[in-house]
A and B are shown apart, each in its own frame.
Chain A
């Protein structure tokens, strides 16, 4: 179930603007669309999927040279998808994503379409099969616009680790879009698609959603199949959507969630009707506020916006309870041991034998060939993480580092289980600051890692986390509210996020570029 357009309170300032958009779609500004508004126009045959797709492709052609959110634009595939969607619409069919332009992070295997993971080591790799998520999106009749840029192998918080160049933040081209799913977020925020998919291992969906003024969801570990998703840290990786509204994100989740026997960590649980969970009613719901998330280091504007958002939810009838997550300060250290240990193992497959790059000189032994290939193919951050993970797993350090991290992971998980005895959902900032400047943290890996201080615990505990726009800082940059729910309680987080969007209008703002004006930037 999808609502028709954003619902605004009677008398709200820009309600006229939103409703006029619904009836006269502005094709020169695809960022003004949501899935819900496009759905309604497509179903009423006021707009064809082909018209919508052409509008999005025009937008891509106009802004990609500056934005660089995409590593590949799949134009002919998009037009074929759109024609197929129009045929289905013509037969009176509908469906959550039928005719909706989408983008996939370039970590999802796509049959016949190059898949690089933003790494030189996968240059030229063309998968012979589709990932489960790509398959489900195609079956739902969505229109594939392209593959999004990312930090190489999803390792990063800014998209600056891509081997194929940076992506800019549509709200301020001198700032990062966040990472690692930065291209997926920037593509939606700039109107290059209406929704996109990313992956989140330590915050890689929620952080860019926060930095780009979007809704982003990391579902529960096991909710969405990772079949065909290039692995980074297998006990943490999860697939999830970006869009402008919680209702849109719920619609995408309904399509991609579900058991897949090809992923042994995919959980055989029925998929609820996420749209039906969006009742707008949060009366009596207990919202936990973790005191550790409002500690030193949080930007004043972020703290204010987050507290205001909590106040809005309280005004809607939710009960606010203070909770503790006492092991929060150990989350980043734990994450960087667990994730890198798993990465060092997962990335062993890039050996110059079966796919991608090979570098070898005459007389090279097999080991020399491996080492030359991996030196040439991996970027600095990937090498750093492989080394750290190998170190943590190596003889003499396993107990002190890796095993210790797995024990602390238990403590972090217990914190959440205990907190959820006192609340139904947890509300906190998504990130301590808004989007930082390009280049600001590239030379300081640790500072970059700390961008994820409020997101990694959720992955370690395997929980769903939703980031919802909750305001702007003094520089006009978006701020995200994070809603964390118990395992498989996506509906609760979505219900709260949707109720918040019904009561506020932050999600109606668009970056200046989305008006079609060229951004004043130095590319």
Chain B
């Protein structure tokens, strides 16, 4: 499965990853080799086999709609790298 630098750039954008030129080339090679190995799955006929996304038979559990966290917004956002009181500050998103 050949992977181009254009492919790498496309998925890096989807994944919101910035990459240096050295990283782009190395990751292209790694992806190609890993996908080559993964290609062995193509040799298996899986027609009609259901997909297993997870292994336990649990219904989505629901709880009562009541607030359980203590009111402590400051602690909740205390790890934010840039904030104004309990607001998180990000670069401008509207021109």
Q: Which residues of A contact B (CB under 8 A)?
A: 124-126, 128, 221-222, 235, 261, 264-265, 267, 327, 329-330, 332-334, 336-337, 344, 348, 351-358, 360, 364-372, 374-375, 378, 380, 383-384, 386-388, 390-391, 394, 400-401, 403-411, 413, 445-446, 449, 460-462, 487
Contact = CB atoms under 8 A, between A and B. Distances in A.
Among B30, B60, B72, B93, find the residue whose CB has the most chain A CB atoms closer than 10 A: B30
A222 B54 CA distance: 11
A366 B77 CA distance: 19
Contact of B20 (A222, A356, A375, A462): A375
B14 A390 contact: yes
A264 B60 contact: yes
Interface in B29-70: 30-31, 33-35, 37-38, 40-42, 44, 46, 49-56, 58, 60-61, 63
A390 to B, nearest CB: 4
A409 B91 contact: no
A443 to B, nearest CB: 10
20 contacts: A128-B76, A235-B54, A261-B61, A264-B60, A265-B58, A353-B80, A354-B80, A369-B91, A374-B17, A375-B17, A375-B18, A387-B27, A391-B35, A394-B10, A394-B11, A401-B38, A403-B51, A407-B49, A409-B51, A411-B49
A333 B42 CA distance: 11
Contacts of B27: 383-384, 387
A221 B34 contact: no
Interface residues of B, number: 53
B16 A348 contact: yes
Contacts of B37: 332-333, 446
B16 A410 contact: no
B12 interface: yes
A355 B79 contact: yes
For the residues of A in contact with B, the DSSP-based class is helix
B2 interface: no
B41 A334 contact: yes
Contacts of B20: 375
A462 B55 contact: yes
A457 to B, nearest CB: 12
Contact of B46 (A222, A264, A394, A411): A411
Given A375-B20, A462-B56, A355 B30 contact: no
Contacts of B72: 128
A329 B40 contact: yes
A388 B76 contact: no
Contacts of A408: 41, 44, 46, 49
B55 A411 contact: no
B17 A386 contact: yes
A221 B55 contact: yes
Contacts of A344: 15
A115 B83 CA distance: 21
Contacts of B93: 365-366
B4 to A, nearest CB: 12
B51 A369 contact: no
Given A222-B56, A366-B90, A407-B49, A388 B34 contact: yes
Nearest to A234: B54
A337 B51 CA distance: 13
Contact of A410 (B12, B51, B75): B51
Contacts of A128: 72, 75-76, 78-79
Contacts of A366: 90-93
Contact of B61 (A264, A367, A369, A409): A264
Contacts of A406: 51-53
A460 B80 CA distance: 35
Contacts of A354: 77, 79-80, 88
A368 B19 CA distance: 12
Given A354-B88, A357-B81, A387-B31, A265 B56 contact: yes
Contact of B41 (A367, A405, A413): A405
Contacts of B54: 221, 235, 265, 462
A378 B17 contact: yes
B58 A267 contact: yes
Contacts of B23: 380, 383
A57 B46 CA distance: 54
Contacts of B56: 221-222, 265, 267, 462
A330 B75 contact: no
